[in-house]
Structure 1
Amino acid sequence: MGTLAEFEKITDAEEFFEFFDINYDERLVQVKRFHIMKKFGELVEKAKGHDMGSDAKLLEYYKFALLSVYKNFENGYSPSAADVWSMFDKPSACGTCSTAGSCNEITEVSNGAHACTSNNSVNF
């Protein structure tokens, strides 16, 4: 496992699995990528408010969180239609990152929709 600084640079789902040395089914990650990363991102955000004592312990929590989320999907978990549709009602404020943790300037752009203004370039 690498450092917290290395973890924070990761942007691809497969890179998270490789970083934590977790075996995964590539096909499952390809199909459920959005849902896996959304749930993992939620757990990462929750951990940011807690003192884990050290970067190593925080990374262990992140590893456990990713493994736990992945195993749920591997064992057949499927988000309900309500979960999926609610994501469209309340999208991440930043469409350029998986956890919106790097957003530092979020502004309302129109009629209740918000966008990250700290990253002016969006790459496709």
Structure 2
Amino acid sequence: MSDFEFIEDLEELSSAEEFLEYFEIEFDPKVVMVNRLHIMQRYHDYLQKMEKAGNLPAEEAALKDAYQQMLGQAYQDFVESDAITEKVFKVFRMHEPQTTFVPLDQLLGS
């Protein structure tokens, strides 16, 4: 059981629109319609990065503000850019040039 009421509220949300409405973030439905999965994945990535860095606030109000800020940033990323440019999912990075390291001794030994 969570100590924070808003974490319990989040568990009830199921769509990008519900998250944006819950955090009172104004949004363009067309942007969300095209990018909903990308926005939510980016939001998750931001939360995970902040958690790994140990930067999540301990008190509920500050934590809710941090969640709201990260969701707002995730949404804004796709207002200012697009899914292909942002490359949130691995499928968008699969055809990028790959680099391979070959040690000099292997080149000279052949």
Range into which the TM-score falls when normalised by the shorter chain: 0.5 to 0.7
Partner of residue 7, structure 1: 10
C-alpha separation in 2, matches of 1:20 and 1:46: 20
Q: Once the 2 structures are TM-superposed, how far is the Cα of residue 10 of structure 1 from its aligned partner?
A: 1.7
Aligned to 2:44: 41
Runs (4+) of structure 1 exceeding 6 A deviation are: none
Instruction: Select the structure of larger CA radius of gyration.
Output: 2
- Structure richer in helix, relative to its length: 2
Task: Give how far 1:4 is off.
Answer: 2.2
TM-score relative to the length of structure 1: 0.59
- 1:1-124 mapped onto 2 (5 Å cutoff): 3-49=6-52, 50=54, 51-75=56-80, 77-80=81-84, 83=87, 86-87=90-91
**Count of residues paired in the alignment:** 88
1:4-46 per-residue CA deviation (whole Å, 9 max, x = no partner) reads 2112332210010110011101111010111111100111223
Work out the CA distance in 1 between the residues paired with 2:28 and 2:57: 30
Q: Which has the higher contact order (CA 8 A, sep 6+)?
A: 2
Q: Is the 8 A contact 2:41 2:88 kept in 1?
A: no
CA RMSD of aligned residues (A): 2.7
Tell me the secondary structure at the aligned position of residue 15 of structure 1. helix
State the match for 1:92 in structure 2. Answer: none
Determine what percentage of the aligned residue pairs are the same residue.
28
Change (3 A) 1:53 1:81: closer
How far residue 61 of structure 1 moved from its aligned partner, in angstroms, is 0.7
Provide structure 1 residue ranges, at least 5 long, that are not aligned to the other structure: 90-124
For residues 8 and 74 of structure 1, do their structure 2 counterparts lie closer, same or farther at Cα, with a shift above 3 Å needed? same
Higher strand share: 1
Q: TM-score, with normalisation over the residues of structure 2?
A: 0.65
